[in-house]
Amino acid sequence: MRHPRDFYLDLIKRVLTGFIYEDPNVSPWGEPVFDAELRRMGADWPRDAHTMVGLERLNNIQSVVEDVLTHGVPGDFLEAGAWRGGASIFMRALLAAHAIGDRRVWVADSFQGLPPPDSQAYPADSGDPHSEFRYLAVSLDEVRCNFARYGLLDEQVCFLPGWFKDTLPTAPIDRLAVLRLDADMYGSTREVLTILYPRVSPGGYVIVDDYGAVEGCRRAVADYRQEHGIADDVQQIDWTGVYWRKTT
């Protein structure tokens, strides 16, 4: 028999992704209708849903969070690049479902979209168009309201508004058990890894949302891993998301 929390978490996932009300696609490509397979894989842009990562990547979040809880891997959870907050909301829902009161969910985002590409510092970002997509800019007030809609806005949720290079170095985070990157660009991805990867506990997880979809993100991950001798296997989640478990 399924545990009651499984029904709660499944419902949260279906609401966050728009499955429950068949929220239509509004991306510049594809038809303006709800497509269950695209939404499962996080391969469209939802009109109203609170996340675009799809069911498969939410399932991955659940898997790694429950693994670190089971094995007592120390640290908080952090998402760098939150959009409407859905993936972070789900991490907070997991803590609630498991009655965990001594870990926090950190939500790091500019809350004004992505930065213009700095091609001098990061040549791989030259011509990157992400800063032009206003659809990706969601205010802090809206994200806070989204947490509140689920009854999950409390002291275990901490917001870090601003560019990663400005907010993450001084963030009062000792250890992370789960680090989730949804930073899209080379520079943003590289900054998050440089600042936060050393704080990921052994046995913790790193999730990269845009690895398959954005060449700059993939290159940033590959460069960082190579430069720091990271040999932990990169596991595929779906068409774009990947993750690995930090062993040392």
- Sequence-ordered alpha helix ranges (H) in the chain: 4-17, 36-40, 54-71, 86-97, 140-149, 164-167, 186-196, 215-227
In this prediction, residue 30 carries a pLDDT of 87
Q: Is residue 30 part of a domain?
A: no
Q: Is residue 95 part of a domain?
A: yes
Q: What residues have CB less than 8 Å from 124, skipping those under 6 apart?
A: 186, 187, 215, 216, 219, 220
What is the domain range of residue 185? Answer: 54-245
Q: Binning pLDDT at 50, 70 and 90, where does residue 29 land? A: confident
Tokens representing 163?
Answer: 């560019």
State how far the Cα of 242 lies from the Cα of 240, in Å rounded to an integer. 7
Q: What integer is the mean pLDDT of 200-223?
A: 97
The CA angle 117-123-129, to the nearest 5 degrees, is 35
In this prediction, residue 50 carries a pLDDT of 98
pTM beyond 0.85, yes or no: yes
Q: In this prediction, what percent of the chain has a pLDDT beyond 90?
A: 87
Q: What integer is the mean pLDDT of 46-61?
A: 98
Q: Is residue 170 part of a domain?
A: yes
In this prediction, residue 66 carries a pLDDT of 98
How deeply is 209 buried, as exposed, middle or buried, from its count of CB atoms within 10 A (0-12, 13-18, 19+)? buried
Q: In this prediction, what percent of the chain has a pLDDT beyond 70?
A: 100
Q: Is residue 48 part of a domain?
A: no
Alpha carbon 71 to chain centroid distance? 22
CB 144 within 8 A of CB 153: yes
* Span 159-192, pLDDT tens digits: 999 999 999 999 999 999 999 999 999 999 999 9
CATH number at residue 126: 3.40.50.150
How high is the mean pLDDT of the chain? 95
Q: Is residue 40 part of a domain?
A: no
In this prediction, residue 124 carries a pLDDT of 75
Q: Over 80: is that where the pLDDT of 123 sits?
A: no
- Cα-Cα-Cα-Cα torsion 200, 141, 167, 81, nearest 10 degrees, comes to 50
Q: Is residue 97 part of a domain?
A: yes
Based on the structure, what is the number of domains in the chain? 1
